[in-house]
Every structure is written in structure tokens, then in C-alpha cells.
Amino acid sequence: MNLNPTSTLASIVAVSAFDAEKNNCANHLIDRLLLAAIDKPDSHAARVIRSLADEWRVEQIRSQIERELNDSEPANEADSAALRADFFTKIYNLLSSVAIAGEPLNTGHILLLAIADPTTISNEILRSHLIGSQRLAEAMGVLEVEEDRHLDMSLQ
């Protein structure tokens, strides 16, 4: 499948890959992406979460994910050389699993990954704030698929 990520999504993936490599963290890839997406207030993912929860709750979700990530085990030092390439491969493979043919990938797809994978930190935290797959699908249906494009244009 030919993936067409928004530049916002591509930059989030790149920053998250660098962060994972720098901190020797090969685990919780989706959680790292979601945290980076929430930190971009105009991203599709951040807008979807804000439509489902008030600002205080969004900040609580963000800090809970960050706290859990900081408590997670670092990767083996020997694995760090290939970590960044592995991160890109794994993430784009995961994103392709939730992609819709012909539509660009945006940061909202990170939310889809998080809510679909019960092993992610984000899944547990989002569900504890009553954000499940049904509410997420409804909220994503309201926002434009290319919502990140608005942010992309302001970055150019």
C-alpha cells in the first residue's frame, strides 16, 4: 500500500523515532506517537481528544501516558543501532493496517492504533477516561480526514 502521511504525522514519527533511539526505548511505540500528537494542539489526534474530553482531562491523559512511559524498561544497548530504522518500519506497518485506500494518513490514525491495541498504555488510559472505539469513531467522523493538512499548511 502506498502510504501518504501528512507532514505533521511524518514529523511526529521522526521525532518519536529519535526520542526512542536516544532513550534506548524500543517499546510502547504507539504510546510515544500519541504523546507527541497530543503535544501538537492543532493535530487531528489532539482535536479528536479535545472533542471527547475537557482541557483538564486531556492534560491528565497526556501526563498519565508520559508518566507510564517514563516508568517503562529501556531497550537493550545492543539494539539501539537499529532502533530508529525498526521504529519507522514498525510504525508505518501498523499505520498501514488502519489506513483507508486513497486517504492520507494523519495523526488520528495513531488514536485508532492505540484504541485497537489493548496492550498499549494509551488504550488503558483512554478507556479509563471513557474514550472507547465507538466514541472515537464518532468524533473522527466529525473532523475532516485531512485535518492535519490545515496544520501542515501553516508550517510551510
Q: Are 43 and 12 in contact (CB under 8 A)?
A: yes
Within a domain: residue 1?
no
Within a domain: residue 105?
yes
Within a domain: residue 2?
no
Q: Which residue range is the domain that position 144 belongs to?
A: 7-155
**φ/ψ bin of 28: left (φ > 0), alpha (ψ from -120 to 50), beta (otherwise):** left
pLDDT of residue 124: 94
Taking the CB of residue 93, how many other CB atoms lie within 10 A of it? 10
- The grid cell for 7 is 507532514
Residue 93 pLDDT exceeds 90: no
Q: What is the CATH number of the domain that holds 122?
A: 1.10.1780.10
Per-residue pLDDT averaged across 36-46, rounded?
A: 89
Give the count of alpha carbons within 13 A of 127, CB side only.
Answer: 13
- The grid cell for 50 is 479535545
Structural domains in the chain (count): 1
Coil/strand/helix, residue 118: coil
47 vs 24 pLDDT, higher one: 47
Share of the chain above pLDDT 90, in %: 22
What is the distance of C-alpha 105 from the center of its chain? 11
149 vs 72 pLDDT, higher one: 72
Residue 111 pLDDT exceeds 50: yes
109 vs 80 pLDDT, higher one: 109
Strand partners, 5: 105
Fill in the DSSP letter of residue 102: T
Question: Is residue 109 classed exposed, middle or buried when 0-12, 13-18 and 19+ CB atoms within 10 A define those classes?
Answer: buried
